[in-house]
Structure formats: structure tokens, C-alpha cells
Amino acid sequence: MAKTKRSTASSSDGDARKSVIVTFKPKETRRNKSADKMEILASSCPRAGNLFIYDVAGADAFTVGAPGLPTSIESDSIGFDINLYEAPIVTLKLSDSEIKALKSNPDVSAVEDDGWAYALPLQNLVFEGQPSVQAETVPIGVSQIQAVPAWGCSRGRGIKVAVLDTGIDWNHPDLRPNVRSAISFVPGETAMDGNSHGTHCSGTIAAVINGAGVVGVAPEAWLYGIKVLANSGSGQFSWIIAGINWAIQNKMQIVSMSLGASSAPAALEAICNAAFNAGVLLVAAAGNAGPPPAGQPTSVGFPGRYRNVVAVSAIDSNNVIAPFSSRGPEVEICAPGVQVLSTVPGGGYGQKSGTSMACPHVAGAAAVIWGAHRFATNVQIWNLLGASADNLGNPGWDPQYGYGRVDVDQAALAVVPAPAIQLRP
């Protein structure tokens, strides 16, 4: 992990420090067009010169098969530097007086609280038992979305899928052949999954065909475990932003985010937009809030609510919307999310429910489809997902099922470009 430290006189400010996300104006609109982000920080916060700011673009991931173990961000890390034109962001800890000074700086666009997002399994059904898996099993959800027939066309070979989650158990026999690297943006924790959520989602995406265990939707896709949620299942937005930036810099094709929150900083949308504009397909769980409250149009959480993110609702094995699934105008597509069988740490298997489980079905589907249409863009893959979906609700689009249940086989065999679906405003 590349690290930057600059030395200046430290501040005597004794205020308690808060985690914040600072978004800067584009260089051409700054008062001092030659000033970089660190210089702007130092002009308002003299203490900033003593902080450790990690350059996410230079972050080193653990490569499977390389000597040694992956290392996490050091626990004394202060923040991350996101050096993108569309999202010039620094995340760090500042005092109230420093925050006030930055907010009044004309070269700063916003200073936002660094809140929390959460993994999205259904909380009262987080772990539904560890069944005995002897011979190789194709989980019901993988069959339900017609993945198996599509394998004659594509198994997603070499498509790069970043799983932003609680990490990954790269030693699991069903995952190890497909795990290319892993990195943690959670201070004090390695990329190894200490929760099970990330490993479960990864198995749904790309568990290998090896004669045992389970099979994922895209059994030859490449997995990149990006730890942005702690072993507790929660993660700060700054960690998620850093993970998305890493995905951009390392040319991931798909980002799977089985996480969410009821509100989020504008900086998260900025980094999602930057990823989308860089050609990344972002897929996110819609949330487990059920139908919208009376008078509200949506119960979809963030980042699924953003225009440039594919929001996935959950259905059961009978193709009925799950009672817990969020719904609203942002839902694009639905996938199995009830009692989903997949990998768990330690070489085992387990069932989980939630839109967290639906999301990786769509991420895996996108990998198979992209493998069948190697020169397609992220927008074309998005269109293929929607245009080929099996309609389940009202004709066309509806706020529960979106365009319908993902159909991998139909999308893999479709002609590119697919009929354009109506993207939300």
C-alpha cells in the first residue's frame, strides 16, 4: 500500500476528531489551479501535514500463490487519497474547527460525515444451517436463472469481478482456483473473511466446477476479494469509496456490492459515477427493508439507489418477490435471494437469505454474459440483462421485479447491441 507522509508543524487543536470525506473542486475551477489536494488541506488544516494518507491507486493486493500473507491497512492509518478527475476525494479524521475551516475553503466542494454501510443478509436468517454437500451441487438459484445452459457458450472465463464485502476465504477449495487477489481497506484487518458474508457471495458468483461442493453462476470468472466491510459486517463509506477506486485503477469489469445504507454521502455517488464512466458494471443489493413506507416511493438503499448502479431485488424459488426485499423505481432486475446455498469460510457450505444473496447471482450472470460478448461495454451488458430478463410482475418493468428475473442463457445468446432498456433518470 503506497503511503504518503508530509511533515509540517502540528496543530494544537484539542478537539475530538471525526472521520470525514472531503471532496475537492476540479482543478480548473479552483482558486489556485496549480494547488493539489494536500496543499489545499494544509492551507485550512496545518495538522494535515503530519497525517498519513494512503494512495489507493498504489495499493498492493495480495496475489494468491505469492509468498507471505496479505496485509491490511495499518490500524493507525488516517485516510485515503482518491485521485480521480471525477472524484477528487480525501478521507481523513479532522477536528470540528478543521472541518469548519475546510468547509469555508473555496476550493473544497463538500465535507461530509463518514458514515456506515452494512452487509445485507436478512438479519434473522443470517445463517440457515450448514448442509452436507458431498457430490458437486448446482444450487437452486444457479439453475433458476438458467446459468447451466449458458455454460455451453460462456463460463465467464477471465472476466474480472471485484467483490466488495467482508473479504474472502481464498483457501476454500471451491474458490481458490478463481481467486486472483485480495486486499483490505479495513484498518487492522486482513483480507481474509472473518464473517462469512463475502465468501458466501463469492461462491455464488464463481465457485468452480471441481466435482465437489457447489458451483457458481460463472465458474471460470476471476474473483478479487476487496474487503470494505469489517468482520462485524459493517464498513465506513470511506473504505467502500477506496475499494471502488481500487477496482477502477485495476480495471475490474464488474463490482458486486452486497451492502447498503439508508443514506450515504454524495462522494459515494461520485465514485460510482466515475466507475461507471470508466466502463465498470456496478451491481448492488436493493436492500432488505421490504415495501416502501406509506407515502414513500422507494425502500431501496444506497448505493443501489444510484442511477449508474444495477439494483437487485430478491425472489424465492417460486419466482415470488421475497417479503423482505426492498422495492422501488430503482430496481432493475431480480434474482434468487432466499435460502441460497453457497460457500462459507473453512471449506464449508451454508444457506443465507437476503438481497445480499440476490446481488451476486446478477454479478455472476454479467460475467457469463460478458464472456459471451467479449467486446461489449458495461452499458451493453446492462441492456442485455434487462432486455433478456424473464418478466415476473406487470408486463415490462415494475418496482418489485424490475425487468424480471435474470436469464443468463437468453442474454448470453442474444445479439449485441441488445434493445436499449430505459435507464432511470
**113 annotated active-site:** no
| 110 band by pLDDT with thresholds 50, 70 and 90 | very high
Catalytic residue among 81, 165, 193, 398: 165
**Residue 368's pLDDT is what?**
99
- The pTM assigned to this predicted structure is 0.92
Q: Look at residue 69 and tell me whether its pLDDT is greater than 60.
A: no
Tell me the β-bridge partners of 224: 162, 181
| 11 band by pLDDT with thresholds 50, 70 and 90 | very low
Give the pLDDT mean for 209-219: 97
Q: Look at residue 3 and tell me whether its pLDDT is greater than 70.
A: no
- Sorted by where each begins, the domain ranges of the chain are 2-9+17-115, 118-413
> Do 289 and 299 touch, CB atoms closer than 8 A?
yes
Q: How far is CA 416 from CA 150, 168, 216, 383, in A?
A: 16, 33, 25, 9
Amino acid, res. 70: P
C-alpha cell at 390: 424473464
- Summarize pLDDT for 118-133 with one digit per residue, the tens: 998 765 555 555 566 6
- DSSP calls for 182-199: EEE-STT--SS-SSSHHH
Q: Look at residue 8 and tell me whether its pLDDT is greater than 50.
A: no
User: Measured between alpha carbons, how far is 16 from 69 in angstroms, rounded to an integer?
Assistant: 35
Q: Look at residue 134 and tell me whether its pLDDT is greater than 70.
A: no
Instruction: Give 3-state DSSP helix, strand, coil % of the chain, rounded to 5.
Output: 25, 25, 50
Q: Look at residue 277 and tell me whether its pLDDT is greater than 80.
A: yes
Give the pLDDT mean for 7-13: 37
Catalytic residue among 44, 154, 181, 197: 197
> Do 191 and 70 touch, CB atoms closer than 8 A?
yes
| 12 band by pLDDT with thresholds 50, 70 and 90 | very low
**Residue 63's pLDDT is what?**
55
- Summarize pLDDT for 249-272 with one digit per residue, the tens: 999 999 999 999 999 999 999 999
- Summarize pLDDT for 310-355 with one digit per residue, the tens: 999 999 999 999 999 999 999 999 999 999 999 999 999 999 999 9
Amino acid, res. 191: A
User: Measured between alpha carbons, how far is 289 from 300 in angstroms, rounded to an integer?
Assistant: 7
Q: Look at residue 106 and tell me whether its pLDDT is greater than 80.
A: yes
User: Measured between alpha carbons, how far is 33 from 329 in angstroms, rounded to an integer?
Assistant: 40
The 3-state DSSP class for residue 27 equals helix
User: Measured between alpha carbons, how far is 54 from 212 in angstroms, rounded to an integer?
Assistant: 41
Q: How far is CA 423 from CA 268, 281, 401, in A?
A: 20, 14, 15
* CATH domain 118-413 topology: Rossmann fold (3.40.50)
Residue with the bigger pLDDT between 132 and 245: it is 245
Give the pLDDT mean for 285-309: 97
Residue with the bigger pLDDT between 330 and 417: it is 330
C-alpha cell at 87: 472524484
According to DSSP, residue 302 is labeled: B
**Residue 32's pLDDT is what?**
83
Amino acid, res. 105: N
| 301 band by pLDDT with thresholds 50, 70 and 90 | very high
Give the pLDDT mean for 228-250: 96
**Residue 194's pLDDT is what?**
96
**Residue 44's pLDDT is what?**
84
The total of other beta-carbon atoms located within 10 Å of residue 134's CB is 8
Question: Exposed e or buried b for every residue in 325-346, given b needs 16+ CB within 10 A?
Answer: bbbbbbbbbbbbbbbbbbbbbe
Environment class of residue 254 by beta-carbon count within 10 Å: exposed (0-12), middle (13-18) or buried (19+)?
buried
Catalytic residue among 202, 299, 313, 356: 356
Share of the chain above pLDDT 70, in %: 85
The answer to which of 58-67, 72-81, 97-106 has the lowest mean pLDDT is 58-67
C-alpha cell at 258: 452486497
**43 annotated active-site:** no
Q: Look at residue 65 and tell me whether its pLDDT is greater than 50.
A: no
According to DSSP, residue 414 is labeled: S
Q: Look at residue 375 and tell me whether its pLDDT is greater than 70.
A: yes
Give the pLDDT mean for 8-20: 59
The 3-state DSSP class for residue 257 equals strand
Strands 2-5 and 52-55: antiparallel
C-alpha cell at 368: 457469463
**169 annotated active-site:** no
Residue with the bigger pLDDT between 53 and 277: it is 277
- On average, the pLDDT of the chain sits at 89
H or E element that contains 385 = helix 378-387
Q: Look at residue 82 and tell me whether its pLDDT is greater than 50.
A: yes
**Angle at which helices 266-277 and 237-249 cross, to 10°:** 10
